[in-house]
Amino acid sequence: MTPGESASLGNADRVADDIHNMLDHGYRRDGETSGGAPSGGMHVYVRETSAPDKSTILRVELSGEMDLNTAGQLEDTLAAWGSSSGLVVIDLNGLSFIGSAGLRALLTCQQSVAAAGGNFVLLAAASHRVVRRPLELTGLDKLLTIIAAGDGFDGNRSPM
């Protein structure tokens, strides 16, 4: 799916089903990458599984602060797990701050995943203004696919 692609293009239902399966089923491989100090920093937790069609689903959960000092962790994490031609889901609900370097990292990662033929989706609750507001102010909410999973997304409807 390309940035800004609408649900009417047919791929959104598959993405919704993949995300539903990812959120509700077990994973084959888990691992935590570089953390961060309790007084700041960002924690990155990665889970990988397979969708029913055998494509890869990579979920990256972020918590803490995504700023100039930590934004590179996301790019490093995706590079360490290899290029994904499947679905990459970045869960932003655990972030307490996202700066311009974090926004740039999200866009860079989306471009890398798209170049590999994969789909890139952000999970951010509509009520999570710490993350949503910077995305809206910069216009990235129009370029990136964002799903409000914490606001009732159940996988039975199009998330976009």
Domain spans, the chain: 7-151
Compute the mean pLDDT over every residue in the chain, rounded to the nearest whole number. Answer: 74
Entry pTM: 0.71
Q: Tell me which of 23 and 95 has the higher pLDDT.
A: 95
- pLDDT tens-place string over residues 53-81: 777 888 899 999 999 999 999 988 888 87
In the CATH scheme, what is the homologous superfamily, with its name and number, of domain 7-151?
Answer: STAS domain (3.30.750.24)
Residues with Cβ within 8 Å of 150's Cβ and at least 6 positions away in sequence, in order, are 93, 123, 124, 125, 127, 128
CB 128 within 8 A of CB 92: yes
